[in-house]
Structure 1
Amino acid sequence: MKVSLKTGKQLIGMSFILPWLLGFAVFTAYPLGYSMFLSFQQVRITPKGIVTDFVGFDNFSYAFTVDALFTQELLTYLEELFISVPIILVFSLIIGLLLNQNIKFRGLFRTIFFLPVIITSGPVIEELMAQGVTAIPSIEEYAIFTIILNNSESFFNSTIIYLMDNLIFILWFSGVQILIFLAALQKIDRQIYEAAKIDGASSWECFWKVTLPSLSPIIIINVIYTVVTYSIFALNPVVNHIQSNMFQINTGFGYASALSWIYFGVIALVLLIIVGLLTLRAKKKYS
């Protein structure tokens, strides 16, 4: 059977991506579809297998009307997310700018900043947090911490306390973002900086007028990566709450599946808002 050159190339291309498509269908698409099915069911595990009873949207309404712990943890997650993501991005950009300079042992520094990505598994972080390693050392000895701690009702004070207790933990999420920023910085044409400096631009003006606009697409990518990574971390209280409901008699797999889809919807909505705002701002500023 003869085929055209174009069709032959398409068949070769499909043969390369076919293993991925099969893997996606079996290990991703099917579990997602099945979890959506279970979210509308009351699931019971019996000696004969899994028994499901259709309950409609009862699992979803239960999450918002009865399960007060879930809504509380969801709000806490959103608060911490909007605090942590900007800090992670700013810290990653600063370190990326420093590592982009012509300094000695640059490769070693890159390894050091990326090392936490390798060792920050759930049990390791849990043990480090229990030992107080993720907080600023001896911060309780400073008077300002005592003043803030005694007036922790406002959002600003609670934000400062959260940063003091989790600053090192937050910065550990910056390894991949640093490498992404560094790769983007190395792709910027140096002739642009030379032309700007010939026109009298300072280093600060070069950063705001050349570097930052060039990094706008990379910032969006890092925002998406940071939000997703922070949201699916093993010690996330929302994730732990979903897992704890999987084997409870009153809730089970059906309710846990509904919580998972609610959580997925919240993450998707957050990403849509943030990426949409960043995209619109970039278009207005640099159009």
Structure 2
Amino acid sequence: MNTMIQDNVKTTEKREISPRSKKRARFHFRWKEYGVGYLFMLPWIIGFSVFMAFPIGWSLYLCFNKVSLTGSGFKYQWVGLQNFKDALFKDNEYSVQIIAFFQQMIVILPVIIIFSLLVAILLNQNFPGRFLFRAIFFLPVIFSTGQVLTELFKQGAGDVPFISQYGIDTFVAENFSPSLADPIISFLGMMIIILWSSGVQILIFIAGFQTVSRSIYEAVRIDGASPWESFWKITLPSIVPFIALNLLYTTVDLFTFPLNPVMEQIRKHMFNMSTGYGYASALAWFYFLLIMIVIALILWFLNSANRSRRVRA
């Protein structure tokens, strides 16, 4: 009898809770769970709203206009989707640059990830001066940014001199077909970029190695597993989320590289009197949509990797 009375009291209490109080309780719960993260994001949100929101919105408006400079200022003529149509069907140079850049990125992206992974494995070992070598690999990230990197490439610092000095390019051209020799020579010429673009990825992989418990390695070593087997069965599955994170970071870094030919194409049309800001904004937004598609695919891979990892756990 008492239990029936208690059940009736609980049901009446549940009925007395209004939808507004449920929403309020849900809001407080979410704020307690995500509030600290939002507070950390607050400076970025304020900076984005003050300095970037209006220029981004204005560039979106310029995409649908033909902007020309007159004696009295800028003149805006609404053209709708004409700028995008010209970019896709008339501007052959822009489409060629997009295709060539994507081909180059498909080659260089896995090379940077694999190179960073191998260097991180070496730097994760215990040896004297490990901190110094980690700092050396991270130094290019500090110095080779923005205008500094552009100036270094203008002075020839981005070239690999031994390719021509030792006749490697001639050897490749003579022994391989042109369709295969050109990508190989281009890849060899990007070795400096690969080295300069791997600092952050190396640190992320080292952080990923630290998440794997040492007791697991000790257990498999006792069971007779070799270092090669422990890498493929323990280390590599454990750092799959970090591989996806490095893929995301490297993709964004390559898309925003200062010497990116697509970015150079957009800047050229920006200061061209016949095309102007409107056409350049359309090129930039089309490029942005392609970037978002690639990032969405990488995020899908990241979520699927995390989901499979939880299932295994």
Q: State TM-score, norm by structure 1.
A: 0.87
Q: CA deviation at 1:17?
A: 5.5
Structure-2 separation of matches of 1:34 and 1:129: 33
1:145/1:224 CA distance change after superposition, 3 Å: same
Q: CA deviation at 1:159?
A: 1.9
Structure-2 separation of matches of 1:121 and 1:25: 25
Structure number, greater radius of gyration? 2
2:184 maps to 160
* Match among 105, 117, 124 for residue 100 of structure 1: 124
* Match among 267, 273, 276 for residue 243 of structure 1: 267
* SS at 2:178 equivalent: coil
Alignment partner of 1:218 is 2:242: yes
1:120 maps to 144
Contact map agreement 2:150 2:258 (CA 8 A) in 1: no
Structure-2 separation of matches of 1:268 and 1:58: 22
Report the number of matched residues. Answer: 282
Q: CA deviation at 1:121?
A: 3.0
Contact map agreement 1:177 1:222 (CA 8 A) in 2: yes
Range 214-223 or range 136-145, more displaced = 136-145
2:90 maps to 66
* SS at 2:52 equivalent: helix
2:196 maps to 172
2:3 maps to none
1:152/1:169 CA distance change after superposition, 3 Å: farther
* Match among 217, 223, 227 for residue 199 of structure 1: 223
Contact map agreement 1:135 1:169 (CA 8 A) in 2: no
2:19 maps to none
* Match among 107, 125, 139 for residue 83 of structure 1: 107
User: Over aligned residue pairs, what C-alpha RMSD do you find?
Assistant: 2.9
Identity percentage of aligned residues = 43
Alignment partner of 1:35 is 2:91: no
Q: CA deviation at 1:282?
A: 7.5
* SS at 2:125 equivalent: coil
Structure-2 separation of matches of 1:252 and 1:145: 40
Structure-1 separation of matches of 2:54 and 2:115: 39
Q: CA deviation at 1:56?
A: 0.8
Contact map agreement 1:122 1:235 (CA 8 A) in 2: no
1:54 maps to 78
2:290 maps to 266
* SS at 1:51 equivalent: strand
Contact map agreement 2:245 2:302 (CA 8 A) in 1: no
1:17/1:215 CA distance change after superposition, 3 Å: closer
1:22 maps to 46
**For residue 236 of structure 2, what is the amino acid of its counterpart?**
L
**For residue 125 of structure 1, what is the amino acid of its counterpart?**
L
Per-residue deviation, residues 238-283 of structure 1 (Å, max 9, x unmatched): 1011011112111111111100011111122223334445655776
**For residue 193 of structure 1, what is the amino acid of its counterpart?**
Y
Q: Could you list the runs of 5+ residues in structure 2 that have no partner in the other structure?
A: 1-24
